[in-house]
Amino acid sequence: MKERIKGRKNYPTEEVDPLNFLSDNEIRRLISQGKTIKFTQDLFEKLFNCVHCGECETEPERFLLKH
């Protein structure tokens, strides 16, 4: 994806709070677990830290996990 703002990362949550950002690969891994996912407080906070900027490939999966 082309840079949103020159010199800045495309994912605002990762740029502002990199320790509380779930990558696309982490989201895919969680989705693959189906209903066996064990939500810890840390995972819950990272998931809800997403600002849904629409710049990642896993935005629909992120909404699904929040549901």
Average pLDDT over residues 45-56: 87
Confidence of residue 13 (pLDDT cuts 50, 70, 90): confident
DSSP H or E stretch at residue 16 = helix 12-16
Using the structure block, give the residue that is written with the tokens 């995972």: 43
Sign of the Cα torsion 52, 31, 66, 63 reads positive
The model's pTM is 0.79
Average pLDDT over residues 4-30: 83
Sign of the Cα torsion 30, 67, 54, 14 reads negative
User: What average pLDDT does the chain have?
Assistant: 86
pLDDT score of 1: 60
If we measure between CA atoms, which residue out of 54, 50, 53 comes closest to residue 65? 50
